[in-house]
Chains A and B, each alone.
Chain A
């Protein structure tokens, strides 16, 4: 197992320290995440693997501030999200974290372009700059000409690429992707991973994604295996790209 704390620029995109998530249930509480500790370098491309129920989604939810840990601390982009109130946590998610979900989760009432630029709109980025950034990104990831289509008129692969565009367009410190290829065929999966790799390499975007697909694991620079809410193995597969 290689050293998990190496980093390209000495700055962690996300750090978790002894994080636990316990759901109070009868007859006994469920420990979904148990003492999870990790330090993800800026620009890394990390896969979290594990069987169903191993806690992958819960870990991503914790790292993204979608749910609060029972105990432990988490930092994103140098800010401790476990110390933030709901309002500031929402702001942190808006500015520092991008999400890609298994079921795409685009807003059905918005076009592809409007979905992709939504977080920029929330952040008050002027219309011209928003359009420019999204269109540039769409060109990079093969969504040219699909700007005006609503999600219902896009294929699964196209929808997931729009979701990736939405996640990275604001240049967040961290992009969390929960089984992003689970609903895609192999060709679409490969195409999506190509896009994610390219954005990771070209823009230095940090990706942490969950998967149970061996082909996806192979492409990660770092592979973290979870079993029963704990890290079982943490292996470095390749060097973290230097920050551009």
Chain B
């Protein structure tokens, strides 16, 4: 009953200076809407970035021999039995709703030579049929075609490499690498197609060739240096890693890693970008907090006598503080609700198909081994929305706390002298 009376007072006090309350609530609601929008955009951007990078690289989940990540050497590969075991594990029905596809890769470093020049390259033996679904590379085709299942001595090369080696579609060149036995052997290849990603190290130094060709050439039948797994979402990574580790438990020589571990550069990139967002959010929160603090402090400072009356009538100091807290919490609740609706409606209503930032860069962006699509599609995550709303509630509560303490600590007799 008592707290009902306090809430009634809080409610009426909010309504007393409607313009000030409305402006404060608007600032909070707008802040929350911007927060929801920017989080959805950041999550969407990150997801696209991660998706692009893992498709060109290790996958959301990478399954390798234990030391391959550190050494990159062919001797640290999965043999045919291990590849078969991993393949069986990936067929687990418990994973079917999370795994989009997977692709075996046999990757070595080597040398690409043409009549005009030579270049160090990363030779990636791929399954053309799987890779067409897995990788974004086939989509970056500028000339010729991507590899096809029947291909044997065809290669898909980057635009910069083609330029430096003066290669065109149909031209022949030689790939040289160290085989499993330690010998250095060359393999004559013909250019099937040329791609351009915008990522210099990829365009300059990556060659896709059929995995069976590489296995035969390097003397590693059925082997793979990595099996890359593509998931529907990066957020499923930890779960899938856990399941696969449990499935492959006891299989010595097999290491299951999430993309954060397998692609530390990408992980750092996403983390740094997140920190940038957090700094923006902290500034946003600080502005919102100051708006609430200012509005409630103004209200409290102008009502010293009123708080004196409340205490004279029998309210305790804590209860007097609750009247002020109630005002802040009520404003927070209303603006939280309004801000959430605005944030969701604006983001979903206007930007569900993405925001096109291509006008900001004619050449596109790449970072940490991934291509950043200039059209960023926001992604709503329930946890992020809850976190955003919770942040506003925390900010509203903290900003109300100081005025509440001020109101509760006043000297009643002095407050009664205060001119309103």
Give me the interface of A with B, judged by CB distance under 8 Å. Answer: 58, 61, 64, 66-67, 86-87, 90-91, 93-95, 99, 101, 103, 105, 107-110, 114, 118-119, 121-124, 166
- List, in ascending order, chain A residues with CB within 8 A of B305's CB: 103, 105
With CB as the reference atom, state the residue of chain A lying closest to B419: A103
Q: At the interface, is chain B mostly helix, strand, loop or mixed?
A: helix
- List, in ascending order, chain B residues with CB within 8 A of A61's CB: 412-413, 416
- Tell whether A110 pairs with B12 under 8 Å between CB atoms, given A67-B413, A105-B309: yes
Cross-chain pair count, CB within 8 angstroms: 73
- Tell whether A109 pairs with B12 under 8 Å between CB atoms, given A87-B316, A122-B314: yes
With CB as the reference atom, state the residue of chain B lying closest to A64: B312
With CB as the reference atom, state the residue of chain B lying closest to A106: B309
One digit per residue, 1 when the CB lies within 8 angstroms of any chain A CB and 0 when it does not, for chain B 4-15 equals 110011001101
- Tell whether A122 pairs with B5 under 8 Å between CB atoms, given A66-B312, A101-B416, A109-B15: yes
User: How many Å lie between the Cα of A105 and that of B417 in the bound state?
Assistant: 11
One digit per residue, 1 when the CB lies within 8 angstroms of any chain A CB and 0 when it does not, for chain B 313-334 equals 1111101000000000000000
Which of B8, B12, B305, B314 has the largest number of chain A CB atoms within 10 A?
Answer: B314
Give me the interface of B with A, judged by CB distance under 8 Å. Answer: 1-2, 4-5, 8-9, 12-13, 15-16, 305-306, 309-317, 319, 411-413, 416
Instruction: Assess the A86–B312 pair: CB atoms within 8 A.
Output: no
Instruction: Assess the A121–B5 pair: CB atoms within 8 A.
Output: yes
A76 to chain B: closest CB distance in Å? 13
Instruction: Assess the B1–A107 pair: CB atoms within 8 A.
Output: no
- List, in ascending order, chain B residues with CB within 8 A of A95's CB: 314
User: How many Å lie between the Cα of A69 and that of B2 in the bound state?
Assistant: 29
Instruction: Assess the A109–B16 pair: CB atoms within 8 A.
Output: yes
Instruction: Assess the A86–B313 pair: CB atoms within 8 A.
Output: no
- List, in ascending order, chain B residues with CB within 8 A of A93's CB: 311-314
- Tell whether A108 pairs with B16 under 8 Å between CB atoms, given A67-B412, A124-B2: yes
With CB as the reference atom, state the residue of chain A lying closest to B303: A108
Which of A61, A87, A95, A118 has the largest number of chain B CB atoms within 10 A?
Answer: A118
B45 to chain A: closest CB distance in Å? 47
Instruction: Assess the A90–B16 pair: CB atoms within 8 A.
Output: no
- List, in ascending order, chain B residues with CB within 8 A of A105's CB: 305, 309, 416
User: How many Å lie between the Cα of A67 and that of B413 in the bound state?
Assistant: 6
A167 to chain B: closest CB distance in Å? 9
Instruction: Assess the B314–A107 pair: CB atoms within 8 A.
Output: no
User: How many Å lie between the Cα of A64 and that of B413 in the bound state?
Assistant: 10
- List, in ascending order, chain A residues with CB within 8 A of B312's CB: 64, 66, 93, 99
With CB as the reference atom, state the residue of chain A lying closest to B5: A121
User: How many Å lie between the Cα of A103 and that of B313 in the bound state?
Assistant: 15
> Can you list 5 A-B contacts (CB < 8 A)?
A67-B413, A90-B316, A107-B310, A114-B8, A121-B2
- Tell whether A122 pairs with B16 under 8 Å between CB atoms, given A67-B413, A107-B9: no
Instruction: Assess the B2–A122 pair: CB atoms within 8 A.
Output: yes
User: How many Å lie between the Cα of A87 and that of B2 in the bound state?
Assistant: 14
A101 to chain B: closest CB distance in Å? 7
The residue from A66, A108, A121 contacting B412, defined by CB atoms under 8 A apart = A66
A208 to chain B: closest CB distance in Å? 15
With CB as the reference atom, state the residue of chain B lying closest to A117: B5
A89 to chain B: closest CB distance in Å? 9
A7 to chain B: closest CB distance in Å? 26
- Tell whether A94 pairs with B313 under 8 Å between CB atoms, given A118-B5, A121-B1: yes
With CB as the reference atom, state the residue of chain A lying closest to B11: A109
User: How many Å lie between the Cα of A109 and that of B12 in the bound state?
Assistant: 6
- List, in ascending order, chain A residues with CB within 8 A of B1's CB: 121-122, 124
User: How many Å lie between the Cα of A91 and that of B313 in the bound state?
Assistant: 9
- List, in ascending order, chain A residues with CB within 8 A of B411's CB: 67
Instruction: Assess the B13–A109 pair: CB atoms within 8 A.
Output: yes
Instruction: Assess the A90–B314 pair: CB atoms within 8 A.
Output: yes
Extra inter-chain contacts (10) besides given A90-B319, A94-B315, CB under 8 Å = A61-B413, A67-B412, A91-B316, A94-B313, A95-B314, A101-B309, A107-B306, A118-B5, A121-B5, A122-B2
B69 to chain A: closest CB distance in Å? 64
Instruction: Assess the B306–A108 pair: CB atoms within 8 A.
Output: yes
- List, in ascending order, chain B residues with CB within 8 A of A114's CB: 8
Instruction: Assess the A86–B316 pair: CB atoms within 8 A.
Output: yes
With CB as the reference atom, state the residue of chain B lying closest to A88: B316
The residue from B13, B306, B313 contacting A122, defined by CB atoms under 8 A apart = B313
A45 to chain B: closest CB distance in Å? 21
User: How many Å lie between the Cα of A107 and that of B9 in the bound state?
Assistant: 9
- List, in ascending order, chain B residues with CB within 8 A of A123's CB: 314
B348 to chain A: closest CB distance in Å? 38
User: How many Å lie between the Cα of A109 and that of B305 in the bound state?
Assistant: 14
- List, in ascending order, chain A residues with CB within 8 A of B13's CB: 109
- List, in ascending order, chain A residues with CB within 8 A of B412's CB: 61, 66-67
- List, in ascending order, chain A residues with CB within 8 A of B311's CB: 66, 90, 93
The residue from A64, A67, A94, A121 contacting B4, defined by CB atoms under 8 A apart = A121
With CB as the reference atom, state the residue of chain A lying closest to B12: A109
